[in-house]
A = this chain, B = another copy of it.
């Protein structure tokens, strides 16, 4: 066993035996270098190993800490068995009920797929909107027509520089939010009846969009930590005519998984070989809660296969909804599709977002948001590990705002959904996250929509209800 691994194993054992508990600080690199008589590189490697396993986390300017709970990933058995044939997506009335529950008072919302608007920089947005209102004129409305406001597109292109991507403003087509971006991208490279490869489980809004376009889906097994299973995707490419691959490499919803860079390279290589365009749904990557921001698939894309879909609507403003697609060779088709779908995105929203990106403290607001969401994630993880009955397992997301819980076999999440809503807590039952309504004993929980106190209360409520939500009862 190499030296760094020995050190890692020691610490892992201490954590396993709960000598080191969640939230405990572990020795700094300098301290450990002294204790183990090794060089700092070895310690760093050991700590990196423990981070990869999800046992510890680094906090900027503070040091390394044991995570609130040991990572308990959804085991192999919990993954979807890939359907032998592609399936039509069946959508659900539950989605409408969830959206409605949001505006009911006293409901703790774990079921929706958005951040609490209070966490967003509303005052800075209003400031930007007020400046725009003073000077928005008809010429700006004309220039906002597809492909979109040139000022906004240049600002968006500039933001790619930080992610290691060189994107020309000309390659960007502005949309009305991130979901429209994915919709336009899908429609521009597929026709109704085509089959799209997607992760399983998946975000229910995406499943709804796929159904609306008349697309079939091939659900690909997905790892809770590393995302879409590339080997399974390869099999799908070989056995089925796949028109596009829709993937969320960075903080997949609902798992919260994060695709390693090597897998990204492999995914691109395979897709290039099979000539399958990739739609990268990348709406929450600024919400990295540990370490630093992962690079998008687009940053590795030499062949021009990736339609990269971004959004300002998730993490900046729900009120003025702007998304975009950076698409390289698909640019003309994307623009045409956008024009046919809805002509232009709101010129006002475009101008307001351009004003915000240019003149407001964007990065500082993102940092604040990450701190707020990380605290909520930790609270939820801690509450679940303390309160949920034995046999429950969860993912430990390193970003985004949702996690996935697998409950004991026989638990009926649809029943739990009903029980919980009656007690003022909403969840997204597993079947909503699958085209085939699988995952009956699973649920997706959003930790970005509630206060820490609400999270504790909501998790406790769920913990009491889970044993009662058995399919047998």
**Interface residues in chain A, defined as those with a beta carbon under 8 Å from any beta carbon in chain B:** 91, 93, 95-96, 99, 102-103, 114, 116-118, 120, 122, 125-127, 129-130, 132-138, 140-146, 176-177, 179-180, 183, 187, 191-193, 205, 208-209, 211-214, 317-321, 332, 335-337, 339-344, 346-349, 351-352
Contact = CB atoms under 8 A, between A and B. Distances in A.
Contacts of A205: 340, 343
Contacts of A116: 138
Contact of A179 (B129, B134, B191, B343): B343
A93 B133 contact: no
A319 B136 contact: yes
A99 B146 contact: yes
Nearest to A211: B340
A348 B352 contact: yes
A335 B136 contact: no
A165 to B, nearest CB: 26
Given A96-B335, A348-B352, 10 more contacts: A103-B142, A114-B343, A117-B138, A130-B133, A133-B133, A180-B342, A183-B342, A192-B213, A319-B346, A348-B348
The 6 closest A-B pairs by CB, nearest first: A192-B214, A208-B340, A129-B133, A117-B138, A130-B133, A192-B192
B209 A191 contact: no
Contacts of A130: 130, 133-134
A213 B141 CA distance: 27
A321 B347 CA distance: 8
A118 B138 contact: yes
Copies per complex of this chain = 2
B339 A99 contact: yes
Contacts of A347: 318-320
Contacts of A146: 96, 99
Contacts of A335: 96
A142 B134 CA distance: 26
Nearest to A109: B142
B341 A209 contact: yes
B346 A321 contact: yes
A143 B103 CA distance: 6
Contact of A192 (B144, B145, B193, B339): B193
A141 B340 CA distance: 28
B321 A177 contact: no
A88 to B, nearest CB: 10
A219 B126 CA distance: 47
A332 B93 CA distance: 10
Given A136-B129, A336-B93, A102 B145 contact: yes
A291 B193 CA distance: 48
A135 B319 CA distance: 12
A462 B337 CA distance: 30
A91 B144 CA distance: 23
